[in-house]
Structure 1
Amino acid sequence: MHEKQKLLSMIRKYDFVLYELQLYLDTHPHSPEALRMWKNYQSMRQKAVSSYVRQFGPIQPMQAEGNGSWDWVDGPWPWEKEAN
């Protein structure tokens, strides 16, 4: 698996864990262990996203730099073969 696919896979895994923790925290808002896990996975996700954006460009429009051009549209779109 190439680095790009590895990072996207890790981001998806972190998103899944964070969503599950969110559901748990909705019913157990004072759980110190769940809060610790939330912060830990949130940090790991942010590092993976930062690494991906730095190497391959923005994942979301909010990450586009907008310096001189709208770089969100650069590169292949997710449905194009080159993106996968």
Structure 2
Amino acid sequence: MNKPLPKEYYTQLEEIQAIDFTLYELALYLDTHPSDSQAIQQYNQCAVYCKQLKAQFESTFGPLQFGSPNTNQQEWTWNSGPWPWQI
């Protein structure tokens, strides 16, 4: 890594990881409780929030995962890191 990452990078990434964890846990719960309308509502709210967080992160720091749009039309940003094992 050539330059240090700003604190916001880590803060936003941690928030994304937390909401992803919540989504996985809710999905597992809903697998065994498919008619729990409150859990379905919570899952849907978290899914929308997660999408917003990821869009905000990617607009600032670049692609988060394979298949994310490359928002920089002049340069392919996948090779500009950091890679997951570098953070």
Q: TM-score, normalised by structure 1?
A: 0.83
Q: Which runs of 5+ in 1 are unaligned?
A: none
Q: Give the total of aligned pairs.
A: 81
2:42 is equivalent to residue 40 of structure 1: no
- How far the C-alpha of 1:2 sits from its partner, in A, is 1.3
Determine the C-alpha separation between the residues in 1 that align with 2:82 and 2:25: 31
Q: Which residue of 2 aligns with 1:74?
A: 80
Determine the C-alpha separation between the residues in 2 that align with 1:64 and 1:70: 10
- TM-align CA RMSD: 1.9
Q: TM-score, normalised by structure 2?
A: 0.80
Residue type matched to 1:57 in 2? G
For 2:70, which of 57, 65, 69 is the aligned residue?
Answer: 65
For 1:8, which of 9, 13, 19 is the aligned residue?
Answer: 13
Structure with larger RCO (C-alpha < 8 A, sep 6+): 2
The alignment-based identity, stated in percent, is: 35
- How far the C-alpha of 1:64 sits from its partner, in A, is 3.8
